[in-house]
Amino acid sequence: MILKLELNIRPTPHQSVRFTRAGRTFKPKKIMDYQSYVRKLVEEQLPAGFSIIPAGVPIFIRQLSYQYEWSSATPKKRRIGKVYKPTKPDLQDNLNKAFLDALEGLVYEQDQNIVSINGLEKYYGDGDKITLILEYDA
């Protein structure tokens, strides 16, 4: 079965774990708000009758792309096509962690069941957007 999600939200990286003065770890409010909004957008797009992908079922991500809106400093004549974003945030660790953790418990039981990620990219475009296409055996 194939599931396609397109979320109009600015991709936000997950920062390292923060510590209180007492030495306890916590997740920053910015990340918690981002993940709850991602969950809300995903709930709206899930097909009727969708049931969570159970643990033990391999999940193949066919495309995961993070699109950032063009900077206002970029001339309009250069805003053509797909221009890759070589600057921060880190694609592999930070962006994926926040996004894929938000889907855990909503789309799939455990994110450890993701066995393959193809089409992973970040680039500039007309607006902020995250596109996810995943495949699994129903």
Q: Which domain holds residue 84?
A: 2-136
Phi-psi region for residue 119, left (φ > 0), alpha (ψ -120 to 50) or beta? Answer: left
| CA distance linking residue 60 with residue 5, whole number of Å | 14
**Per-residue pLDDT band at 21 (split at 50, 70, 90):** confident
> What's 65's domain CATH number?
3.30.1330.70
pLDDT digits (tens, 9 = 90+) for 59-109: 999 999 999 999 889 888 888 888 888 888 877 778 888 899 999 999 999
Count of the separate structural domains present in the chain: 1
What global pTM score does this model have?
A: 0.86
